[in-house]
A and B are shown apart, each in its own frame.
Chain A
Amino acid sequence: MHRSIYFFLLFLSAACEPEDWSKPGNLVPLTADQNASVPSQQINGTLLHVESYGTPTDPIIVVIHGGPGGDFRSLLNAKVLADDGFNVVFYDQRGTGLSKREDRGQFEDKGAIDLFIEDLDKLISLYRFGPEQKVFLMGHSWGAMLATAYINKHPENITGAVLAEPGGLTWPQTEDYLSRSNEVKLFREAINNALVPEAIIAGKSQHEILDYKASFFSSYENAPGNTIGNEGEYPFWRNGAVSSEAMNEYADKYGFVFTSNLGQYTTEVLFLYSERNQAYGRSWAEQVSAPYPTVNLQVVKNCGHEMFYFGWSDLYPKALNYFNQLK
Chain B
Amino acid sequence: MKIKKFLLIILAAFAHCSLFAQEVNFRGLDNTKHLIGVQSGADYGSYYGISYGYVWRNRLTPIVIGTEFTVPFGNNLVDDWKSRTSLQAELWHYNSFSISARLSSTFRRYNSDLATLLNIGSDFTLNVGYVKPKWSVVALANFDKPIVTHVENKLLKEYYPAIKDGWYDESGGNYKFGVRGQISYKSWNTFITVGKHFGKNFEDNPTLPFFAEVMVQRRL
**Which segment, of B89-97, B128-136, B157-165, B182-190, faces chain A?**
B157-165
Closest approach, in angstroms, between the C-beta of A221 and any C-beta of chain B? 13
Per-position 1/0 for B108-137, Cβ under 8 A of A: 101011110101010000000000000000
The answer to whether A199 and B114 touch (CB under 8 A), given A205-B204, A209-B171, A237-B160, is no
> In whole angstroms, how far apart are the Cα atoms of A293 and B204 in the complex?
43
Chain B residues with CB under 8 A of A236: 159
Q: Is A297 an interface residue (CB 8 A)?
A: no
Q: Is the CB of A195 within 8 A of B206?
A: yes
Q: Is A216 an interface residue (CB 8 A)?
A: yes
Chain B residues with CB under 8 A of A209: 171-172
Q: Which of B115, B171, B208 contacts A21 (CB 8 A)?
A: B171
Closest approach, in angstroms, between the C-beta of B94 and any C-beta of chain A? 35
Q: Is the CB of B114 within 8 A of A203?
A: no
Q: Is A309 an interface residue (CB 8 A)?
A: no
Q: Is the CB of B168 within 8 A of A18?
A: yes
Chain B residues with CB under 8 A of A253: none
Per-position 1/0 for A245-268, Cβ under 8 A of B: 000000000000000000000000
Using C-beta atoms within 8 Å of the partner chain, give the interface range for chain B: 35 or more
Q: Is the CB of B74 within 8 A of A203?
A: no
> In whole angstroms, how far apart are the Cα atoms of A235 and B156 in the complex?
9
Chain A residues with CB under 8 A of B167: 16, 18-19
Q: Is B148 an interface residue (CB 8 A)?
A: yes
Q: Is the CB of A20 within 8 A of B112?
A: no
Q: Is the CB of B44 within 8 A of A198?
A: yes
Q: Which of B156, B171, B202 contacts A200 (CB 8 A)?
A: B171
Q: Is the CB of B113 within 8 A of A192?
A: no
Q: Is B75 an interface residue (CB 8 A)?
A: yes
> In whole angstroms, how far apart are the Cα atoms of A16 and B150 in the complex?
12
Q: Is the CB of B174 within 8 A of A18?
A: no
Q: Is B169 an interface residue (CB 8 A)?
A: yes
Chain A residues with CB under 8 A of B74: 187-192
Q: Which residue of chain B lies nearest to A20 when distances are taken between CB atoms in the complex? A: B169
A residues lining the B interface (CB < 8 Å): 16, 18-21, 25-29, 186-205, 209-210, 215-217, 219, 224, 233, 235-237
Can you list 26 A-B pairs with a CB-CB distance of less than 8 A? A18-B148, A19-B169, A21-B168, A25-B162, A27-B151, A188-B74, A188-B75, A189-B74, A189-B75, A191-B72, A193-B113, A195-B207, A199-B43, A199-B174, A200-B110, A200-B119, A202-B200, A202-B206, A203-B174, A203-B199, A204-B171, A204-B199, A204-B201, A210-B204, A215-B114, A219-B112
List 5 tightest A-B contacts by C-beta distance, closest first: A203-B200, A203-B199, A189-B74, A203-B172, A193-B112
Known: A189-B72, A191-B46. 7 other contacts (CB 8 A): A19-B166, A186-B42, A188-B75, A192-B112, A203-B173, A203-B202, A216-B112
B residues lining the A interface (CB < 8 Å): 42-46, 72-76, 80, 82, 108, 110, 112-115, 117, 119, 121, 144, 146, 148-149, 151, 153, 155-156, 158-160, 162-164, 166-169, 171-174, 198-208
